[in-house]
Amino acid sequence: MTMKTPRNYHITTFGCQMNKADSERMAGILDDMGFTFVEDPDDADIIVYNTCTIRDNAEQKVYSYLGKQAKRKHQTPELTLVVAGCVAQQEGEALMRRVPELDLVLGPQHANRLQDLLEQVFDGNQVVATEPIHIMEDITKPRRDSDISAWVNVIYGCNERCTYCVVPNVRGTEQSRMPEAIRAEMEELGRAGYKEVTLLGQNIDAYGRDLPGVTPEGRNKYNFTDLLYYVHDVPGIERIRFATSHPRYFTERLIAACAELPKVCEHFHIPFQSGDNDILKAMARGYTQEKYRRIVDKIRHYLPDAAISADAIVGFPGETEAQFENTLKLVDDIGFDQLNTAAYSPRPGTAAAKMENEISEEVKKDRLQRLNHLVATKAAERSQRYYNRIEEVLVEGVNPKDASQVMGRTRGNRLTFFKGDLDTLRGKIVPVQITEVRAFSLTGEALVPAAVG
């Protein structure tokens, strides 16, 4: 390597949990290379933008950040500018042409190769790494943002073809990690004092489809339910979460496992996208709203108190008012604990982007507002059930709005605040009696504070 002095790096992460996990791995690699993390990109000699292109506004945000640093590079030519993630994969060479100041463009599958690629840059090359590859098991320790709760990748990529979505184009085909590697990573986290693990995949319940073998019952030899049984007793890890579930692969066996395994938290994130069957068909989601309702009924049969969250899109091409109202109806009937809502955004290279019956921005905005209003009302109703109850809260930090309070999450993933001292409570699971409920958060009082010190 032709590098002179130790240098500073900065990473800004956009987008979803996959990107956050990738950024933590890239930061681990940069630490390993002897660089030092800095908060302020203006103090950095290497800047990595780990980008998202799920909607147009996410993509545009990246260009404005990049523009500013490209300018700085004219005064500071030794600045190394890197674009990683989904915009990098989508645009590839075109991104280099658009922003010639860039040194490295790397797709998500190449995150683990950052050292290699940077060394090529330091040798004087402009590098684009976007070809599909087999994602290698990574031996570098990620630099994790939290020392209490960690992400663990389980399956990369997506084999679906939802007509609105860029993810399959930018994340590639499904690649499951071997159970042994997943468990080994969790064991190391347990040893390092982590309390919670969130297993990650675009469609985590599709885990194992790409690995060889079938069981005598005809299931894939490797599947997500068996993976949960295989990892749930990792010492030190007290909570296991997972996201995201796809209704197409979600099974009763998985729900039963969640009910049986004490560390698996009662929270399911299962996007439905639309409550209208014709729209679901046009989206190529592979299920009906009736099927989705049956999944929720099954969850509530096994785990009556389970928290259920989802994603939904309004204003898909051709969506009529009546079809949108079917989404409202589903949300009203089910009562989600949380719902991520978005206005449809046409994405390059997707089938829906070629559809002609696009909904006006005005109508999309109106539908989004109406849906969000209903979501908040229903979430507030769902929060009521916590009132006066005792919830287990894993303490992670301090309430940014009130330094006398700590904050953490309940098993159902509700953000909860209560009076207490972070130094004594950090990383502890504290029984908290809930005294105030809001749509998306709770306030309470710790029980037996002496016992948790």
Which residues sit at the interface with ligand SAH, rule CB under 6 A? Answer: 54-55, 164-165, 167, 202-203, 244, 246, 271, 273, 311, 313, 342, 344-345, 347
| CA 329-334-336 angle, 5° bins | 110
Report, in Å, the least distance between residue 453 CB and ligand SAH.
40
Name the binder of 168 from ligand SF4, ligand SAH, ligand F3S, none, CB < 5-8 A by kind: ligand SF4
Q: Is 53 in the site for ligand F3S (CB under 6 A)?
A: yes
The answer to whether 208 contacts ligand F3S (rule: CB under 6 A) is no
Question: Which partner from the list ligand SF4, ligand SAH, ligand F3S, none does 55 bind, CB cut-off 5 to 8 Å by kind?
Answer: ligand SAH
Shortest distance, position 278 Cβ to ligand SAH, whole Å: 18
CB 347, min distance to ligand F3S, A? 9
86 binds, among ligand SF4, ligand F3S, ligand SAH, none (CB under 5 to 8 A by kind): ligand F3S
- Residue 19 interacting partner from ligand F3S, ligand SAH, ligand SF4, none (CB closer than 5 to 8 Å by kind): ligand F3S
How far apart are alpha carbons 21 and 200 in whole angstroms? 9
Q: Which residue is nearest to ligand F3S (CB)?
A: 15
Q: Which stretch binds ligand F3S (CB under 6 A): 51-59, 252-260, 310-318, 337-345?
A: 51-59
Residues 235-294 that bind ligand SF4 (CB under 6 A): 246
Among 7, 9, 18, 379, binds ligand F3S (CB under 6 A): 18
The pair phi, psi for residue 400, each rounded to 5°, is: -60, -20
Q: Which residues ranging from 167 to 186 are in contact with ligand F3S (CB under 6 A)? A: 167, 170-171
Closest to ligand F3S by CB, 53 vs 413, is 53
In the sheet with 104-106, reading across from the earlier edge strand, the strands are 36-37, 8-13, 46-51, 80-84, 104-106, 127-129
Side chain identity, residue 340? N
Q: In the complex, what is the shortest distance from the CB of residue 194 to ligand SF4, in angstroms, rounded to a whole number?
A: 27
Query: Whole-angstrom Cα distance, residue 413 to residue 416?
Result: 9
| Of positions 168, 179, 247, 427, contacts ligand SF4 by CB under 6 A | 168
Binding mask 127-166 for ligand F3S (x = CB under 6 A): ---------------------------------------x
Choice between 92 and 318, CB closer to ligand F3S: 92
Q: By CB under 6 A, tell whether 160 contacts ligand SF4.
A: yes
Smallest gap from residue 309 Cβ to ligand SAH (A): 11
What's the min distance (Å) between Cβ of 54 and ligand SAH?
A: 5
Name which of ligand F3S, ligand SAH, ligand SF4, none residue 303 binds, using a CB cut-off of 5 to 8 Å depending on partner kind. Answer: none
Single out the residue of 7, 9, 10, 19 in contact with ligand F3S (rule: CB under 6 A).
19
Shorter beta-carbon distance to ligand SAH: residue 203 or 410? 203
Told to check if 444 binds ligand SF4 by CB under 6 A, we report no
Task: Give the per-residue SS3 of the chain.
Answer: CCCCCCCEEEEEECCCHHHHHHHHHHHHHHHHCCCEECCCHHHCCEEEEEECCCCHHHHHHHHHHHHHHHHHHHHCCCCEEEEEHHHHHHHCHHHHHHCCCCCEEECHHHHHHHHHHHHHHHCCCCEEECCCCCCCCCCCCCCCCCCCEEEEEEEECCCCCCCCCCHHHHHCCCEECCHHHHHHHHHHHHHCCCCEEEEEECCHHHCCCCCCCECCCCCECCCHHHHHHHHCCCCCCCEEEEECCCCCCCCHHHHHHHHHCCCECCEEECCCECCCHHHHHHHCCCCCHHHHHHHHHHHHHHCCCCEEEEEEEECCCCCCHHHHHHHHHHHHHHCCCEEEEEECCCCCCCCHHHCCCCCCHHHHHHHHHHHHHHHHHHHHHHHHHHCCCEEEEEEEEEECCEEEEEEEECCCCCEEEEECCHHHHCCCEEEEEEEEECCCEEEEEECCHHHHC
Q: Which two tokens stand for residue 263?
A: 């560390």
Q: Which does 33 bind (CB under 5 to 8 A by kind): ligand SAH, ligand SF4, ligand F3S, none?
A: none
- Indicate the angle between helix axes 321-334 and 289-302, nearest 10 degrees: 10
Site residues for ligand SF4, window 194-223 (CB under 6 A)?
Answer: 202-203
- List residues near ligand SF4 by CB under 6 A: 158, 160, 162, 165, 167-168, 202-203, 246
**Contact set with ligand F3S (CB under 6 A):** 15-16, 18-19, 52-54, 85-86, 166-167, 170-171
